[in-house]
C-alpha cells in the first residue's frame, strides 16, 4: 500500500522534443525559368524585352544558366534565336551535354505557349536571384561576425560596401513617357517666373554667383576646387551661414578635415567678426565679449547640421544623408573635402579609380535625394609651377587624382586669390587686395565666367562686393559680367565689353586664357 502511494506521488515531466532543422531551399522558380527559356526560343523579339532584366547567373539551375548564356551570345551577334540555333551554339561551345542535350532544349518550348508574359516572369526570376544574393551575403556577414579576429568596424565598412554593390547592380529605374516630365518642367518654370529674384534653385547668398547659376539646382553635383589656403572652407561656411541664417535653409556639412568644435569656431569668427586668434586664446576685450554674446544667438537653433567623421566612406555618407533629408529636411549637402573620402568595402586598382567611384556615387546620391551636393576638392601642384597673373588661375586639368570629377560634376568652380601669390595688381592696374575670383570653369546647364568677391582674411569670410568695399566701383578693364541668364543678348554683351581677360573668356575667346 505504501509502495502504491509513493508511485502516485511521482511527478511526470514531459520534455519537448526538438526536431532537427532539415534546411530551406534557396529562393527559386524553376518552372518560370523553363517558361522564359522556351519563350525566348519561340519569339524572335523576346530577348530584347528581357535583356536588361536577366543575366546567366539570374537562373538558379546551372543547366538553365548555360542555355541562357548561349541565347545571349546569339542575340549579341544579332543571329536568330530558336531551338536549332541554340543547339548549334551549345555544340560550338562544347556545352550541349552540360545543357541536358538537344532533347531537353527542345522540350523547353513545350513549357510555354507564347512569350506574352515573359517580362513578368523574368522579373520574378530576377527577384529570386536578388534574394539568393542577400542570403549568401548575410550568411557571410554572420560567419565573419562570429570570428573574433575580425575587426567589427572594418566588417561594417565592408558590409556596407558590398550591400551597396548589390543594390547598384540590381536596382534599375524604369523608363517613363515624357508627358509627366514635361509637366514637372513647366511647373518649375512657373515657380521660377513667380519669384522676383528669378532664382530656380537655392540661393548661395552671393548675388553675382547666383546670376550665373540661378541658384544651386536640385540633383546637381557642384565641385568647389582650389589650392590649399585659398579659402575653400571659408567659402562654404560663408555660404552655409547665408543659406541657414538668412534664408532658413537646412544645411548639412560633413567635415573630414576639421572637428565639429573647430568648424563651429570658424562659424563664430564669421558671424561675430572676432578674429580666430582671439577666439582660440579667449583673449577678448569687454566689447568683444558683448558682441560674442549678442551675435552668437544667431547661430543657436540655426538649421546647420555638422558631422566630423574622419575618413568618411561614401556608403556611410549615403546612409547619413538619407536620414538627414528624411528627419531634418536637409536641402543641400556640403562635403569638405572629396579627396579625404574613401570607398571602403570595394577593391580598386588605383586611388584614381577609387576617387572616380566616389565622384560617381556623389552624383548618384544628388539625383537620388534630389538636392544639390557641394563637394570641395584639392588641385594638384601644376598651378604653382605656372608663371604670371594669368598662369596662376586654375583650370580643369588641375583637378587632383581623377578626371572623373570633371566629368561627373554639373558645375566646377575654382577659387583664386591673386594676392596670395604676392600679385598686388592685375594687368590693368586694379588692386587685388581683399579680392577673390570665383571662376566658373564648367556649367552643364548654363554659362561659364568669372565672379569677383570680397575676401576678408581676418574673419575667413567671403562677401558680395558692395559700394563700400575697396574693390568695388569702376575698375579698369572690367564691367559688370553678363550671362545667358540676363536680358542682354550675346551680341549686345560683346559690344559693351571692353578688352579684359575675364571678358574675353565670356565672349568665347578662350585660347589666350589658362582656364
The catalytic residue positions are 257
Closest CA to 214 of 242, 191, 180, 183: 191
Please tell me whether the peptide bond between 116 and the residue prior to it is cis, using omega within 30 degrees of 0: no
What length does the chain have? 515
| Rg of the chain (C-alpha set) | 32
Q: How far apart are CA 212 and CA 453, in angstroms?
A: 14
Q: How far apart are CA 58 and CA 112, in angstroms?
A: 19
CB count, 10 Å around CB of 388? 11
Q: Which three cell numbers stand for residue 504?
A: 574675353
Alpha helices (H) along 400-500: 404-408, 490-496
366-371 LR contacts (CB < 8 Å, sep 24+): 366/219, 366/220, 366/221, 366/333, 367/219, 369/321, 369/322, 369/325, 369/333, 370/218, 370/219, 371/218, 371/219, 371/325, 371/330, 371/331, 371/332, 371/333
Contact indicator for 434, 460 with CB cutoff of 8 Å: no
Closest CA to 70 of 83, 53, 58: 83
Residue 132's SS3 state is: helix
CA distances from 152 to 137, 139, 145, 156 (A): 16, 16, 7, 6
Widest pairwise Cα distance in the chain: 127
Alpha helices (H) along 333-438: 351-369, 382-385, 388-391, 404-408
Decide: residue 92, CB within 10 A, 0-12 exposed, 13-18 middle, 19+ buried. Answer: exposed
Amino acid at each position: 500500500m505504501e509502495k502504491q502511494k509513493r508511485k502516485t506521488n511521482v511527478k511526470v515531466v514531459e520534455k519537448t522534443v526538438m526536431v532537427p532543422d532539415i534546411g530551406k531551399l534557396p529562393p527559386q522558380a524553376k518552372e518560370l525559368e523553363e517558361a522564359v527559356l522556351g519563350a525566348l526560343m519561340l519569339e524572335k523579339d523576346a530577348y530584347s524585352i528581357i535583356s536588361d532584366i536577366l543575366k546567366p547567373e539570374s537562373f538558379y539551375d546551372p543547366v538553365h544558366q548555360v542555355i541562357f548564356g548561349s541565347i545571349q551570345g546569339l542575340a549579341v551577334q544579332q543571329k536568330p534565336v530558336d531551338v536549332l540555333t541554340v543547339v548549334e551554339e551549345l555544340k560550338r561551345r562544347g556545352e550541349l551535354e552540360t545543357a541536358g542535350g538537344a532533347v531537353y532544349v527542345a522540350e523547353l518550348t513545350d513549357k510555354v505557349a507564347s512569350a506574352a508574359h515573359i517580362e513578368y516572369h523574368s522579373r520574378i526570376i530576377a527577384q529570386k536571384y536578388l534574394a539568393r544574393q542577400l542570403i549568401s551575403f548575410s550568411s557571410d556577414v554572420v560567419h565573419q561576425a562570429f570570428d573574433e579576429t575580425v575587426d567589427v568596424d572594418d566588417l561594417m565598412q565592408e558590409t556596407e560596401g558590398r550591400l551597396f554593390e548589390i543594390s547598384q547592380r540590381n536596382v534599375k529605374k524604369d523608363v517613363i513617357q515624357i508627358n509627366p516630365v514635361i509637366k514637372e518642367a513647366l511647373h518649375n518654370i512657373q515657380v521660377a517666373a513667380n519669384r522676383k529674384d528669378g532664382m530656380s534653385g537655392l540661393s548661395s547668398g552671393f548675388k553675382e554667383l547666383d546670376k550665373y547659376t540661378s541658384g544651386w539646382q536640385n540633383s546637381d553635383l557642384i565641385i568647389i576646387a582650389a589650392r590649399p589656403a585659398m579659402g575653400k572652407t571659408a567659402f562654404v561656411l560663408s555660404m552655409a551661414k547665408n543659406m541657414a541664417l538668412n534664408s532658413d535653409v537646412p544645411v548639412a556639412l560633413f567635415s573630414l578635415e576639421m572637428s565639429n568644435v573647430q568648424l563651429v569656431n570658424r562659424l563664430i569668427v564669421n558671424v561675430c567678426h572676432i578674429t580666430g586668434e582671439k577666439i582660440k586664446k579667449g583673449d577678448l576685450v569687454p566689447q568683444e565679449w558683448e558682441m560674442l554674446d549678442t551675435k552668437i544667438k544667431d547661430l543657436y537653433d540655426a538649421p546647420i547640421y555638422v558631422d566630423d567623421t574622419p575618413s568618411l566612406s561614401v556608403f556611410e555618407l549615403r546612409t547619413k544623408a538619407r536620414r538627414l533629408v528624411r528627419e531634418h529636411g536637409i536641402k543641400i549637402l556640403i562635403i569638405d573635402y572629396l579627396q579625404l573620402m574613401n570607398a571602403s568595402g570595394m577593391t580598386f586598382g588605383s586611388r584614381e579609380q577609387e576617387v572616380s567611384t566616389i565622384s560617381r556615387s556623389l552624383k548618384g546620391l544628388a539625383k537620388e535625394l534630389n538636392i544639390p551636393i557641394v563637394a570641395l576638392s584639392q588641385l594638384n601642384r601644376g598651378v604653382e609651377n605656372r608663371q604670371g597673373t594669368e598662369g596662376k588661375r586654375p583650370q580643369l586639368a588641375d583637378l587632383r587624382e581623377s578626371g572623373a570629377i570633371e566629368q561627373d560634376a554639373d558645375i566646377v568652380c575654382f577659387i583664386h586669390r591673386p594676392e596670395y601669390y604676392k600679385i598686388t595688381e592685375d594687368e590693368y592696374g586694379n588692386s587685388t587686395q581683399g579680392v577673390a575670383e570665383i571662376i566658373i570653369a564648367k556649367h552643364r546647364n548654363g554659362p561659364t565666367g568669372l565672379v569677383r568677391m570680397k575676401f576678408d582674411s581676418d574673419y575667413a569670410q567671403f562677401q558680395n562686393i558692395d559700394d563700400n568695399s575697396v574693390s568695388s566701383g569702376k575698375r579698369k578693364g572690367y564691367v559688370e559680367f553678363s550671362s545667358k541668364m540676363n536680358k542682354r543678348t550675346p551680341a549686345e554683351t560683346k559690344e559693351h565689353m571692353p578688352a579684359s581677360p575675364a571678358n574675353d573668356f565670356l565672349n568665347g575667346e578662350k585660347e589666350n586664357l589658362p582656364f
